[in-house]
Amino acid sequence: MSAPLAELVWSRPVALGALALPLVLLLLARVRREPTVVATGTLAVWREVATPAAASARASRPRVPPATWFFLSALFLGALALAGPRVVAPLGPRTWTVVVDDAPGTELPVDPRDAASPTRREVALEAALAWLAERADENDRVRWLRGDGASLTLAARERPAPEWLAFARPRAAAASGGDVWTRLAAQDRAGSLAITDRAPAAEAPKLAGWFASGGAAVPGPIASGADGVLTWDGVDVHLDRSGDVGGPDARRVVLDERDGELPAQLGGLCEVWSGARGLVLVRGGSDQPAALVVRGAPSDGSPGRAARDGWSARVPGALAAAAPAGAGRVWLRAEPAGRPVVTWTPGLVTVGARALTFDAADPAQVAVSFAELFDAALLAPPGVVPLEARLAAGDPSFRPPRTPARVRSESSTLTEAPLDAWLAGAAAFLGLVGLALLRV
Amino acid sequence: MSPASPTEPNPSGPSRSAASVRLPSPTVSLGRDYLARVERLVPRIRAARERREGAGRGGMAGGGQEFTGYRPYRPGESLRNIDWGLYARLDRPFVRLSRRESGERWAILLDTSASMGVGVPGKLQAAAEVAGALASLGLAHGAEVHLLANDASVFARRPTDLGRLIEVLGGLVARGGDGLGALAAEPARFRESGRVFALGDLLDLEPRELLGPVLGARRGRELVCVQLLAGVELRAVAVHRDAVPDDGVVWVDAESGERRAMELTRAARAGYEAALGRRLAAWGTACARHRATYGSFESTTPFEDVCNAVLGA
């Protein structure tokens, strides 16, 4: 990879206009002029010593004496110095940020009457990519942010892999990364944009932009539970008690203790919670399709204390640092050092402690706390989309973000050379040489 | 001849010679400041000469003198000139004015050829200033002064004639090709003059052409040659302010209009200055051989310095 070239910038570019001065003076010095005619009383003396030069009698282009060349050069360099040239590190690439809306509505087709209709997210994505291809430079980078906190940095004209965008969606809307506008507000700066399905209803971001696909209303299932499936037909909502969305996989909860033992209380709690949600609890491996997997992970064996939602407990260890399942959002930490004990991602809860020794606390407090965790991580059945997402998203909406500024490379070893001082010195030197030539 | 009988200058074109050469300084301008300077100069020169040649007899005054009147004493004059008897009566110093009984005459030959219009200030301007000062000095000594120019002539017998003489000087114009050579060729016009001043650039004649007629016509005549040259003639580099070496220059003879284009190289300038130096040296040598006074000056030299130099004050 080639090193970035330094850039020449001018502090006072207006002063470059002074470069015209030596050029004009040079042109004036070279203007054809009539030979100097001088009356004299000593022509006879001249006749003795010099032969006539016929060419000089005509209009001629005068030769510019060396001293004048030095003065003109001094003026030229002086004008350059006045303009304040500086060699600076090159500007680095710009970074754009795309906040991907993972709300369930973005997975709905833009036109439900067309079986081949792209999803709202796909439409917004294509619009954003087309715009970035036009506005971003080849060296620019784009940081893609998912609602679950995952991020991906690509070149400006690269698109995220379909797998990266086909992310799991938790059933609880609040468990996702939050409303896309809330997330975009955290990124409200030049170069940030959201791809979503509908324009902001309330306050729009100041600097960030968005690409909203819009789209028609899409009737369909809006919730499922132990009592059946709620379906919106475009006007009314119907309960189908015998309805089944997603099949058995969408109702399965798996306790996976192959890599680590789970606290005994957690197994019982999960069983109660599953029953309340109409889910089926099984024990086995996390590789089978399920709405939620609660997985035991290797522990680091360092005891500590953990507390949350009004309860506290002693833990015999935290998640081992090398545990691959340790990634995700931390739900419970062990002190000291804030080591993660429980983490989660949509569809997966990972526990790094084989036991939880609760201090004197209300057991209901502990149960509600863990039930909220399971609810947040529980995957929604495919096809179940909240009613507010199924409503029409309106017309497409687009507002480009402000263009982000380029930042100079900090790693560059180039320093700002005092070129103006060198130029001024050279101009002074040339001027002195010109003066010396005049005196010779 | 009347006390002051000028011949008016020919009112032809003031700034061009017959060959239509534009001269930088063809005319003469003598202002009030000039007269004041002359009045200050004359007593200084007289006093200096008296100190050098002996009191009671001005070097430029002859033997027998006739009384012509009094004038107030001027600071710097010899106290011997004061009429002490008059001082005892009036309690104010007065100087006796006298004129040589022999009627000493001075002739001032002034070159007004076109070449005298060269230079800034012009050579004619410088020559006219010197001529006026010399005339004033001569009149103050009681001499009669005869100014002879190529196209003007004025005869001043007493100090009151000085104004007319200066008026004629102020009307002179550099033109034509007749210079000192033409004036010297008519020695009869100034045969009575015991002292002759030749003012000009001395470029249009050889020394013998002036020295022979002037000094040969009268035994014991004193000749003072004042050569005035312009800066551009003395130093070829001073052609114009932004001249650079090797620039082309067209020299035009002020009198004949002959043009000669040449490159002003260093070698050409050095050769010119050497040749000119030889000419000036020849004049100096010839004048010394004939016991004539000679001085060469640039036209920028103040006339006081010229007079002091040639009169040995």
Q: pLDDT digit string (tens) for B70-86?
A: 777 877 666 777 888 88
Judge whether residue A74 has pLDDT over 50: yes
Do A269 and A289 lie in one domain? The reply is yes
pLDDT of residue B101: 37
Same domain, residue pair A165 and A184: yes
Q: How far is B237 from chain A (nearest CA, A)?
A: 12
B20 band by pLDDT with thresholds 50, 70 and 90: low
Give the separation between CA A65 and CA A182, rounded to whole angstroms: 73
Question: Would you call B248 and A38 a contact, using CB atoms and an 8 Å cutoff?
Answer: no
Above 70 in pLDDT, residue A147?
Answer: yes
pLDDT at B12 over 90: no
Distance from CA of B167 to the nearest CA of A (A): 26
Quickly state the pLDDT bin for B113 (edges 50, 70, 90).
very high
Please give the ipTM for the structure prediction. Answer: 0.78
Residue A417 β-bridge partners: A87
Same domain assignment for residues A422 and A361: no
**Are B250 and A52 a contacting pair at CB < 8 A?**
no
pLDDT at A168: 66
- For B33, counting Cβ atoms within 10 Å of its Cβ (0-12 exposed, 13-18 middle, 19+ buried), the class is exposed
Q: Please tell me whether residue A240 adopts helix, strand or coil conformation.
A: strand
**pLDDT-based confidence at residue A410 (cuts at 50, 70, 90):** low
Q: Which residue has the higher pLDDT, A413 or A339?
A: A339
Look at residue B299 in the predicted model and tell me its pLDDT.
96
Domain for residue A433, yes or no?
yes
Confidence of residue B241 (pLDDT cuts 50, 70, 90): very low
Distance between CA atoms of residues A244 and A365, nearest Å: 32
Q: What is the pLDDT of residue A103?
A: 82
Inside any domain, residue A188? yes
User: Chain A residues with CB inside 8 Å of B245's CB?
Assistant: 65
pLDDT in tens, A318-376: 887 655 544 578 899 988 888 888 988 888 899 988 888 888 767 788 889 999 999 88
> Tokens at residue B289, please?
């051989």
Q: Which of A83-87, B48-52, B99-103, B203-207 has the lowest mean pLDDT?
A: B99-103
Contact B246 A36 (CB under 8 A): no
Mean pLDDT of chain B: 82
Distance from B260 to chain A by nearest Cα, in Å? 6
The partner residues of A408 in beta bridges, in order of sequence, read A91
The answer to whether the Cα torsion of A310, A314, A319, A325 is positive or negative is: negative
Cβ neighbours around A258 below 10 Å, total: 12
In a domain, A226, yes or no: no
pLDDT tier for residue B275 given thresholds of 50, 70 and 90: very high
d(CA A307, CA B9): 127
DSSP code for A394 = B
Q: How far is B143 from chain A (nearest CA, A)?
A: 33
Range of lowest pLDDT (A88-97, A187-196, A349-358) = A88-97
> Could you report the per-residue pLDDT of B22-70, keeping only the tens digit for each?
899 999 999 889 999 999 998 888 787 766 654 444 444 433 355 666 7
Name every residue whose Cβ is closer than 8 Å to that of residue B29 and which is 6 or more positions away in sequence.
B125, B170
Same domain for A114 and A33? Answer: no
Residues of chain B found within 8 Å of residue A57, distances taken between Cβ atoms: 248, 250, 259, 261
pLDDT of residue A232: 92
- What b/e string do you get for A273-285 counting C-beta neighbours within 10 Å, with b at 16 or more? bbeebebebeeee
Residues forming a β-bridge with B72: B94
Instruction: Chain B: give the shortest CA distance to residue A72, in Å.
Output: 16
**Contact of A397 with A212, CB cutoff 8 Å:** yes
Are A71 and A115 found together in one domain? no
**pLDDT for the residue B55:** 45
Do A352 and A254 sit in the same domain of this protein? yes
Q: Poorest-confidence range of A17-26, B47-56, B134-143, B265-274?
A: B47-56
**Residue B203 CB contacts under 8 Å (≥ 6 apart), including other chains:** A41, A42, A44, B115, B179, B229, B279
Distances (CA, A) of A315 to A268, A327, B29, B67, B219: 18, 19, 120, 147, 147
A262 and A200 within one domain: no
> Are A45 and A109 members of one domain?
no
Domain shared by A424 and A371, yes or no: no
A404 lies in a domain?
Answer: no
Distance from CA of A436 to the nearest CA of B (A): 15
Structure-token pair, residue A54: 């016929």
Cβ distance A63 to B21 less than 8 Å, yes or no, reads: no
Interface test with B, best of A31, A33, A40, A48 (most B CBs within 10 A): A40
Q: How far apart are CA B288 and CA A16, in angstroms?
A: 67
End-to-end CA distance of chain B: 33
User: Would strands A220-225 and A7-10 be described as parallel, antiparallel, or unpaired?
Assistant: unpaired
Question: Is residue A242 situated within a structural domain?
Answer: no
| Residue A274 domain boundaries | 248-377
Between the alpha carbon of residue B298 and those of residues B119, B170, B243, B266, the distances in Å are 9, 20, 20, 22
Domain B32-46+102-311 architecture:
3-Layer(aba) Sandwich (3.40)
Point out which residues pair with A86 in neighbouring strands: A9
In this prediction, residue A432 carries a pLDDT of 94
- Residue-level pLDDT at A322: 55
**Neighbouring residues of B248: CB distance < 8 A, sequence distance ≥ 6:** A35, A36, A53, A55, A56, A57, A60, B261, B262, B263, B264
Q: A202 in contact with B at a CB cutoff of 8 Å?
A: no
Average pLDDT, chain A: 83
The per-residue pLDDT for A53 is 55
* CB–CB contacts below 8 A, A to B: 117
One DSSP character per residue, chain B reads --SS-PPPPP-S-SSB-TT--B-S--B----HHHHHHHHHHHHHHHHHHHHHH-TTS-TT--SSEEEEEEEE--TTS-GGGB-HHHHHHHSS-EEEEEEETT--EEEEEE--SGGGG-TTTTHHHHHHHHHHHHHHHHHHTT-EEEEEETTEEEEE-SGGGHHHHHHHHHT-B--SS--HHHHHT-GGGGTT-SEEEEEE---SS-HHHHHHHHHHSSTT-EEEEEEEE-HHHH-GGGGSTT--TT-EEEEEETTT--EEEEE--HHHHHHHHHHHHHHHHHHHHHHHHTT-EEEEEETTS-HHHHHHHHHT-
Q: Phi/psi zone of residue A2: left (φ > 0), alpha (ψ -120 to 50 degrees), beta?
A: beta
Q: Are A330 and A239 in contact (CB under 8 A)?
A: no
pLDDT for res B13 = 34
Residue B14 pLDDT > 70, yes or no? no
Most confidently modeled range among A52-66, A422-436, B206-220: A422-436
pLDDT attached to residue B1? 35
Residue tagged 């007289």 (tokens): B46
Cβ-Cβ contacts under 8 Å for A188 (sequence gap 6 or more): A205, A206, A207, A208
Tokens coding A62: 């005068």
> Is A57 a residue whose pLDDT tops 80?
no
Q: Please indicate, yes or no, if residue A297 is contained in any of the structural domains.
A: yes
User: Is A45 in the same domain as A115?
Assistant: no
CB of B240 within 8 Å of a chain A CB? The answer is yes
Give contacts of B 55-94 with A, CB under 8 A: none
- With CB atoms and an 8 Å threshold, state whether B250 touches A48: no
User: Which residue in this structure is represented by tokens 């050469």?
Assistant: B21
Residues A219 and A232 sit within 8 Å (Cβ to Cβ):
yes
Residue partners of B223: CB distance under 8 A and separation at least 6: B195, B196, B197, B198, B211, B214, B215, B287, B290, B292, B293
Query: Who wins on pLDDT, A167 or A386?
Result: A386
Query: Is the CB of residue B123 less than 8 Å away from at least one CB of chain A?
Result: yes
Query: How confident is the model at residue A407, as a pLDDT?
Result: 73
Residue A243 reports pLDDT greater than 80: no
Per the CB < 8 Å rule, is B276 touching A42? yes
Asked if B286 has any chain A CB less than 8 Å from its own CB, the reply is no
Pick from A160-169, A217-226, A266-275, B271-280: least confident:
A160-169
Lowest mean pLDDT among A36-50, A142-156, A308-322, B231-245: B231-245
Which residues from B are below 8 Å from A38, CB to CB? 232, 239-240, 249-252
Q: What is the pLDDT of residues B243-272, one digit of tens each?
A: 444 456 888 899 888 888 877 777 888 889
Say yes or no: A114 and A171 in one domain: yes
pLDDT of residue A196: 92
Q: Measure in Å the smallest separation between the Cα of A60 and chain B Cα atoms.
A: 8
Kindly state the DSSP code that residue A4 receives in the 8-state scheme.
Answer: P
pLDDT exceeds cutoff 60 at A124:
yes
Q: Is residue A106 part of a domain?
A: yes
- Which of A68-72, A127-131, B152-156, B308-312 shows the lowest mean pLDDT across its residues? B308-312
B222-229 and B293-298 strand pairing: parallel
| Widest distance between CA atoms in chain A | 133
- pLDDT of amino acid B237: 63
Question: Which of A32, A33, A46 is the best mutation test for B, with the most CBs of B within 10 A?
Answer: A46
Per-residue confidence (pLDDT) for residue A34, from 0 to 100: 67
**For chain B, what percent of residues have pLDDT higher than 90?**
49
Give pLDDT, residue A178. 63
B147 interfacial to chain A (CB closer than 8 Å)? no
Neighbours of A234 (CB within 10 A): 11
Residues 6+ apart with CB under 8 A from B297: B126, B226, B227, B228, B229, B305, B306, B309
Measure CB to CB from residue A46 to each of B21, B115, B260 and give the nearest one: B260
| Residues on chain B touching A52 (C-beta within 8 angstroms) | 260-262
Is residue B252 less than 8 Å (CB to CB) from chain A? yes
Q: Does B289 touch chain A (CB under 8 A)?
A: no
Check whether residue A303 and residue A186 sit in a common domain.
no
Q: Domain tally for chain A? A: 3
Q: Which of A343, A338, A341, A339 is nearest to A327 (CA)?
A: A343
Q: Is the pLDDT of residue A163 over 90?
A: no
DSSP, collapsed to helix, strand or coil, labels residue A397 as strand
DSSP single-letter state for residue A149: S
Radius of gyration of chain B (CA): 21
Instruction: State whether residue A53 sits within 8 Å of chain B by CB.
Output: yes
The pLDDT assigned to A28 comes to: 85
pTM of the model: 0.46
